[in-house]
Amino acid sequence: MAHHMQQMSQEMQQCIQNCQDCHSICLQTAVTYCLPTGGMHAEPDHIRLMLDCAEICQTSANFMLRGSDLHTRTCGICAEICQRCAENCDRMSDDAQMKECADMCRRCAESCRQMAMAKA
């Protein structure tokens, strides 16, 4: 395991960090901010997408941490869901919390896209 960690690229370490950060912000924002705020923030499709995003980010991070050769595939779908989540959060862009969430989703989508294109 220690040997594998040394082999892990800077790019992958950054992607893992982005996935973990995105997981945290989506989960926290959905539950502690969007639901109590109500209105369009609490729409079932929006909450579902934020929770889907949190979950796929956690899963992608775990695949990379384990050195799974399938991480390029989890990163591919993660990039897609993060992008969709960012666009959804952008609908409430006048809201600082939602803008922060959208920005994190975009950062994560970008690093996951790069991981998905890398050869396992």
Tell whether 2 is covered by a domain. Answer: no
User: Given this model, what pLDDT does residue 8 score?
Assistant: 78
CATH number at residue 100: 1.20.1270.360
pLDDT digits (tens, 9 = 90+) for 11-36: 999 999 999 999 999 999 999 999 99
- Domains contained in the chain, number: 1
Asked if residue 79 belongs to a domain, the reply is: yes
Q: In angstroms, rounded to a whole number, what is the distance separating the alpha carbons of residues 63 and 75?
A: 9
Cα–Cα distance for residue pair 119/33, rounded to 1 Å:
38
Residue 89 lies in a domain: yes
> Residue 3 falls within a domain, yes or no?
no
pTM: predicted TM-score of the whole model, two decimal places: 0.91
Please check whether residue 34 lies inside any domain of the structure: yes
Is residue 95 one of the residues assigned to a domain?
A: yes
In which domain, by residue range, is 59 found? 11-117
Classified as helix, coil or strand, 19 is helix
Residues of the chain where predicted confidence (pLDDT) is lower than 50? 1-4, 120
